Amino acid sequence: MSKQSYSDLLHIRFHDLLISYDFARNHNGLDLNFDEEIELDGDPQARELLEVEQQAKLERDNAEQTKIQNQAQQSVILNQTVAQLVSEKLQDTTFIFNEVLQIQDAIPTILDILSVRAASIGRIDPLVSNLPWLSLDLIKLVNLPVYRKQVHGEKPIRVDRSKTALSYIGLDNLKMVIPSFALRKWIPHSTEPFRLMKRKLWESSLGAGIACKRLAQMYDQDPGVAFALGAFHDLGKSAIARLYLHTFDTEWKRQLKAARDQRQKSLHDALVDLEPDPNTLRDLMLAHSADLSVRLVECFKLKRLNLASPLRAYVHGDSDDSHGANASHVAMVQILQKGICYARYKILQRHGLIAKHEAKIFFKENGLSSSDVVQLNKLSLVRLNLRLVQQD
């Protein structure tokens, strides 16, 4: 054993503390009075004690390293199994649509109604009323203080019926509100241990919807279609996140129980502290989310609102009209590509993960002109900025 000064140990402990206080305490496993030890450093018995402590620490470190290696190995094995199970389940689009995201048919029906000139609150309200969560969300929205301002010092009357809420919001606003509330419903309620993933899924999809809507207005295309396209373009990621986290938890518990029942202590110890793996979830999203988003939107079975065709063209890189697509279709595919690019740029920029020269290349490759960027820079991508009808 090579001799190690106390100063060396303190340097190591300092580096452990840079990670966290608890890590430093647990990693070193010591509860010593350092002042006394320094004073006794010249005592042969003190030196012998220090060597014993060092040897004990080395043994603990070796045991901990073995445990870490076993955990890493079991994490790979567990996540390979989980990834395979998830990949197989992702082939069943109906299962993902109905069981994982639990998409209710009333939402696509409402979207279809909103896309036609004959749309009316009377046609939409019965569908909304059959979705308690949507009815409650709409009522909460119109009762927010920002939309229920006092008139002549009197408190506004509280809205308590979905039909009244729909009337306040108005048909044009509903073209954004309904996709937004549906998206929020379908995004996982919890993405632990990836705590911020839920928020990022929401921000990126809402931002794409808002950017696409503005681009559609600039290029004389349907802003309602553009917003819905942007909002739903990454729906597959929500499905994969839900499915992966649930499958991991189920398979982890199964393997843990099997190890316990078979009295495989080392395997049980390696499994017990494992958590979902970010690399596995990321790779599943990269491999499957785009195609899954297309298949899920196709499952909407929309009769009037054309979302599936431009989304499919965007995902498969077929944005020109070489296959007979009309000019409006081509424009919508390009708008979707630009809107997604800009929304992701803003998120990367907010976190300091994209340089100016990278952004310029990103914009150029996705067809965003300087004038596009100037207009989009004026937007807030985190709120709808609605103007509700005042009926007090």
pLDDT in tens, 85-106: 999 999 999 999 999 999 999 9
Displacement of CA 363 from its chain's centroid (Å): 23
Whether 55 and 198 share a structural domain: no
Whether 150 and 53 share a structural domain: no
Structure confidence at residue 300 (pLDDT): 97
Structure confidence at residue 195 (pLDDT): 79
Structure confidence at residue 55 (pLDDT): 66
Question: pLDDT for 116-171, tens place per residue?
Answer: 999 999 999 999 999 999 999 999 999 998 887 766 667 778 899 999 999 999 99
Whether 44 and 188 share a structural domain: no
Last-in-domain residue among 17, 46, 74: 74
Structure confidence at residue 43 (pLDDT): 56
Whether 308 and 207 share a structural domain: yes
CA distance 31 to 131: 59
Whether 38 and 168 share a structural domain: no
| pLDDT reading at 348 higher than 50 | yes
Domain containing residue 286: 93-376
Number of folded domains that form the chain? 2
Structure confidence at residue 292 (pLDDT): 97
Which of 10-19, 105-114, 345-354, 369-378 has the lowest average pLDDT? 10-19
Inside any domain, residue 40: yes
Structure confidence at residue 378 (pLDDT): 95
Is residue 360 very low, low, confident or very high in pLDDT (cuts 50, 70, 90)? confident
- pTM of the complete model beyond 0.85: no
- Residues of the chain above pLDDT 90, percent: 57
Last-in-domain residue among 16, 45, 74: 74
Q: Which helix (H) or strand (E) holds 54?
A: helix 44-89
CA distance 349 to 156: 41
| Helices within 262-369 (DSSP H only) | 265-272, 278-298, 308-315, 327-350, 356-365
Inside any domain, residue 88: no
Three-class secondary structure assignment of 247-266: HHHHHHHHHHHHHHHCCCHH
CA distance 313 to 233: 12
Coil vs helix vs strand at 78: helix
Whether 183 and 250 share a structural domain: yes
Question: pLDDT for 364-389, tens place per residue?
Answer: 888 999 999 999 999 999 989 888 86
Inside any domain, residue 318: yes
Inside any domain, residue 392: no
| pLDDT reading at 19 higher than 60 | no
What is residue 153's DSSP assignment?
A: T
Calculate Rg over the CA atoms of the chain. Answer: 28
CA distance 301 to 58: 64
Question: pLDDT for 266-281, tens place per residue?
Answer: 899 899 999 998 888 8
Residue 243 belongs to domain with CATH number:
1.10.3210
Structure confidence at residue 233 (pLDDT): 94
The pLDDT mean for the chain works out to 83
Three-class secondary structure assignment of 79-130: HHHHHHHHHHHCCCHHHHHHHHCCCCCHHHHHHHHHCCCCCCHHHHHHHHHC
CA distance 20 to 7: 20
Whether 58 and 107 share a structural domain: no
Whether 100 and 207 share a structural domain: yes
Whether 47 and 120 share a structural domain: no
Burial class of residue 192 (count of CB atoms within 10 Å of its CB; 0-12, 13-18, 19+): exposed
Inside any domain, residue 86: no
Whether 47 and 109 share a structural domain: no
Structure confidence at residue 369 (pLDDT): 96
Inside any domain, residue 85: no
Inside any domain, residue 56: yes
Question: pLDDT for 46-60, tens place per residue?
Answer: 566 666 676 667 667
Structure confidence at residue 286 (pLDDT): 82
Inside any domain, residue 18: yes
Whether 258 and 191 share a structural domain: yes
Whether 168 and 51 share a structural domain: no
Last-in-domain residue among 26, 47, 74: 74
